Amino acid sequence: MSLRYFPLETTDYRLTMGLKALKDRSWLEVDTNYSQDIAEKQRLLAAHPDSVYGETDGTYAAQRHILELVQTELTNFRTDISKRSLHPTEPPLIAAAKLVQEDLVLMRKQGTDYVLAAACVCFPTGWNLIEKVGQTIRHIHRPVPGLNNQIGMSIDKFFDRLKPGRIVERFNWGLYDSAALFQAGWWRAERPVNRAISPENIGEKIHFRVERQTLQRLADTPDILFSIRIFNTPLAEVVETPERAAQLDHALRTMPKDMLEYKSIRRYEGLIQDYVSQASR
């Protein structure tokens, strides 16, 4: 996939919410990988159903709301997809997820916290859905170094203040030794360091993985729909321009060590930094 997003700042790396209002474009994206991605979702739902779908009690109506929201959005630009037949007995959130390349998460307010009430996440980046269902935002974000301490309160306030009709987007990124869309925590933990990755092939073997995330409140409810879309690009394509290479080089050099570890960069840190640094010259 050609480079679609390059969400790096020109300043030192830092944790930020990075929210931007979404205007004049859809919160869904359909591209040439559509058929391949949907087939992979269907395979994962059949092979690992408990790893990619979960729900808590009382979410059926909200799931149905999300399905209708997805169908309405697709009707605006891909009516061929929006009219696809659905399986009558499967949960509405699974039906919705099978229509789009995005993963879909329902966040619900319980007391003073928001919890992950239901989700179909076929393409996780280093986390396990089964451990997150029913958990609060703070619990879900606990593995991310420094996140709760630095921006946890801002996230809480944002969720409370998000108005119906407003959609925002944000991005995460990392560098990984696989272009697989399904990278659950247990799957990644079992993968040894790839000793075949070398200075000669690192540009093709390491992938720049971007998550495009959107958030919107469901009308007339306290529920929030959180979508996640994965974009993979070989590192060689990312650093084709010296400007992008320099930005990435600076981000890697100013990123805390625990964040480098979290994003799986430490496994190949020397090779990656040498390659990116040379491309920036």
Model confidence over 194-211: pLDDT tens digits? 999 999 999 999 999 999
- Residue 8 counted as domain residue: no
- Residue 11 counted as domain residue: no
| Domain enclosing residue 25, as ranges | 20-279
Distance CA 171, CA 258 (A): 19
- Compute the C-alpha angle 29/31/37, nearest 5°: 95
- Residue 12 counted as domain residue: no
Q: Specify the pLDDT at position 1.
A: 59
For residue 80, is pLDDT > 70?
Answer: yes
In contact, 227 and 27? CB cutoff 8 Å: yes
- Residue 200 counted as domain residue: yes
- Residue 13 counted as domain residue: no
pLDDT average, residue stretch 14-23: 93
pLDDT in tens, 207-232: 999 999 999 999 999 999 999 999 99
- Give me the sign of the Cα torsion angle 226, 231, 232, 235: negative
Distance CA 123, CA 126 (A): 9
- Residue 35 counted as domain residue: yes
- Amino acid code (one letter) for 228: I
- Compute the C-alpha angle 66/136/52, nearest 5°: 50
Selection from 122, 173, 127 nearest residue 4 by Cα: 173
Number of domains forming the structure of the chain:
1
- Residue 172 counted as domain residue: yes
Number of Cβ atoms within 10 Å of the Cβ of 170: 15
pLDDT average, residue stretch 228-252: 97
Which pairs count as long-range contacts for 44-51, CB under 8 Å and 24+ apart, including other chains?
A: 44/122, 44/182, 45/94, 45/98, 45/120, 45/122, 48/182, 50/130, 51/128, 51/129, 51/130, 51/184
pLDDT, mean over the chain: 94
pTM here is 0.95
Q: Given pLDDT bands bounded at 50, 70 and 90, which one contains residue 75?
A: very high
- Residue 9 counted as domain residue: no
